[in-house]
Amino acid sequence: MRIVACLFLAVLVGCARAPIFSSPLEGPNDPYMGSVDSLTKLLDGKSEAYVVFIHGVGDHCPGYAVAPTFGWLNEKAMATMGLSALASPVVNNIPDSEFLPNHDPDPASLVSYTKRDYEYRPDAMPSGAINVHAIEITWSQLTQWVKMNQLDYDLTQPGDKPPSLALGCPFSPSAQYKKPPARQALNQLLKENTLDRSLVDAVIYAGVYGKAMRRGLAEALCRAFGGEVNGGGAICRWPKPGMDKAAYFFVTHSLGSRLLYDTLVGLEGHDVANGVETFSRQEQTDAQAFLNQLILHTSSIYMMANQLPLLGLAYEEGLTSSDPPHPMLPMLRREAALQGVATPPAAFAGRSSAPTSHPQPSVNGFIALRAQLARDSGQAFPKLTVVAFSDPNDLLSWSIPKWYQDPPDGIKPYATFTNVYLQNSTHWLGIAENPATAHTGYFVSDDVWRVIRCGGSNGHLDACP
């Protein structure tokens, strides 16, 4: 009887899906052919590694990535990755008045960076143990107060407070409003958790406030890598370039991916977002030496719940219905000029240290910039690998489409994209998966960490400890 009950329960909840590795270049009837390099291969010849975590939409607090109990990289994930912690996490808060010019201090509006060191000692690594420096950036406190002040009236019940290593997070509103009538459970989950507390972050970012979010990320990155406070609302003084033998990795979630690319490309002289200049020319000049090294030595970017195709719609400009789909043709035309393939409009030809108001295609802009820096250096750098994790039932995730990897005008990006499809939560009766955990559950199971550590080939996960 117990066996029958177990079989019945298995039918109800469905089976967990093993990760699937897919290349954007696959045709409709092709088998899955995606591949991802193992961490051991990516670290070959390196003396240490830096891993930067950047969260996405929704409420997050310091410790979301590196706290040993509730963080993404908790004790269980550390064991899967083969990491040993060398120190406890240390949280640093930065008020927005320190990176926004002419802005009064606001105790509820800030960014945080948290650091923690680990040791990676795989058996297959001939060079021995590698020190891993984790940097966690928390920008959520820049938007929590905006959402609570503007949309708290629509919440029929208080949202779940995320765990935190810092006091005062998340922001709590002081005003009280008459609430709407109670919603059905699923509708409440979608309306309040997914829309009011999560998707709204992308809406905020697409407007003028995105400038504050990019400046906050830049300030946190600068200080986390050892930069010094500049004062007067200017971005901090970046450290001098140093570790050529270090590997850099980024682990991003949903909106965090777009925020990262826009910030780095903007600091390198190609600003984004509807004519709003995020960084001054002096801030760009001061950042370039360090960022050139960071970008050149970035080995891989792991994006969870990728939203680039969605967010790119906010920056469409100068295109017609006859243009093929693409994550912004202007940057490709600029890259075409660098490769001597075609003559683009003069506004996109060449690289300038002056800020521009032309919208950039996020990851492709980052890739084009990295390719150009490699050409300028005269050195050989491996292709950047971009791994996009998606749960097909995640309402806020879009896989990387073919035209990112194989642009319609034939300009090949200096990167390899792979979509990794996995299952973050239980499937009930083959009908539904919890939309909240589908979006937030990328780090709950071991699948993501096994993919990062062990890699995959021919569409499937490689042998993994």
Of the chain, the end-to-end C-alpha distance in Å amounts to 36
Strands 298-304 and 384-390, bridge-based pairing: parallel
Beta bridge partners of 118: 85, 132
The pTM (predicted TM-score) of the whole model is 0.87
Strands 48-54 and 415-421, bridge-based pairing: unpaired
Per-residue pLDDT of the chain in tens (465 residues, 90 and over written 9): 445 444 444 444 555 678 999 999 999 999 999 999 999 899 988 889 999 999 999 999 999 999 999 999 999 999 999 999 999 999 999 999 999 999 998 989 999 999 999 999 876 655 678 999 999 999 999 999 999 889 988 988 887 789 999 887 877 766 677 888 999 988 888 888 888 998 899 999 988 899 999 999 999 999 999 999 998 899 999 999 876 788 999 999 999 998 998 899 899 887 765 556 899 999 999 999 999 999 999 989 999 988 777 766 765 655 677 766 665 554 555 545 555 544 333 223 333 333 333 334 467 778 878 888 888 888 888 888 999 999 988 888 888 888 887 766 555 667 889 999 999 887 776 677 887 788 888 888 889 999 999 999 999 999 887
Which DSSP category does 366 fall into? H
Torsions phi, psi of 302, nearest 5?
Answer: -110, 115
Beta bridge partners of 461: 456
Q: Which of 451, 437, 402, 447 is nearest to 25 (CA)?
A: 402
Upper half-sphere CA count for residue 66 (Cβ side, 13 Å)? 30
Alpha-carbon span 228 to 225, nearest angstrom:
9
Q: Which residue has the tokens 């240290």?
A: 353
